[in-house]
Amino acid sequence: MNFYEKPLSELTDEQWEQICLKCGKCCMLKYSDNGVIHFSNRICKYFDLKKGICSCYNKRFELTDSECKKVNLQLLEENLELLPPSCAYRRLYEGKGLPPYHPLLTGNPQSVILAKQTVKALPVHLDGTQEKAVIALLRTAKQQNWSDDRLMQNARKVFEKYDLQWLETYPYPPKKPAT
């Protein structure tokens, strides 16, 4: 049995890291709207688009201005929507197995890039201004308990102002795996 066929709760830290596709999609700015999660064309300012990885991966949780969330079993159980359906962690959690282009299956560390399943294949942009505007909007909405309609009206204004686009959308909530 390969380690990635074990339950996620049994993986070592090293094995857990090997599951990651290093696609960067979890670093994309996301927004929830009436049962749909939208992944935008904006990516975290710490993401290195040339290398296709986080520029401060080992320190990402220490940064005061980072919205980065640790991908662990708790996140999968409580906020699965933060990860796209192509995410290897999400796929394993849902019982779907690794995607066929995963380097653990292909033996090729470039297979995710060749399959065009990374943010490098998407028209994403690094720009903290847009990200800060959306985060501020979401915080205000939460603090003031805005209705979904009011939030969407304001979100559309922010997205128009900063030329934000939805690149991928997924229904939410995702189906929980059968236990």
Q: How many domains does the chain divide into?
A: 1
Instruction: Give the 3-state DSSP-derived string for 125-163, with helices as H, strands as E and coil as C.
Output: EECHHHHHHHHHHHHHHHHHCCCHHHHHHHHHHHHHHCC
Considering only residues 117 and 166, tell me which one the structure prediction assigns the higher pLDDT.
Answer: 117
Report yes or no on 141 lying in a domain.
Answer: yes
Report yes or no on 34 lying in a domain.
Answer: yes
CB 92 within 8 A of CB 19: yes
Q: Is the dihedral of CA 57, 42, 158, 141 positive or negative?
A: negative
pLDDT in tens, 15-39: 999 999 988 888 888 877 777 788 8
Report yes or no on 114 lying in a domain.
Answer: yes
Report yes or no on 7 lying in a domain.
Answer: no
pLDDT in tens, 63-93: 777 778 888 999 899 888 888 889 999 999 9
Could you tell me which of 67, 71, 69, 82 has the C-alpha nearest to residue 20?
71
In sequence order, the β-bridge partners of residue 168 are: 39
Report yes or no on 4 lying in a domain.
Answer: no
Pairwise CA distance, residues 13 & 18, whole Å = 9
143: tokens are 């603090």
Residue-number span of the structural domain to which 159 is assigned? 13-171
Directed axis angle between helix 128-144 and helix 148-161, to 10°? 160
Residue 98: is its pLDDT beyond 80?
yes
Report yes or no on 177 lying in a domain.
Answer: no
Report yes or no on 158 lying in a domain.
Answer: yes
- Peptide bond just before 173 cis, omega within 30 deg: yes
What average pLDDT does the segment 136-157 reach? 80
For residue 63, the Cα-to-chain-centroid distance in whole angstroms is 18
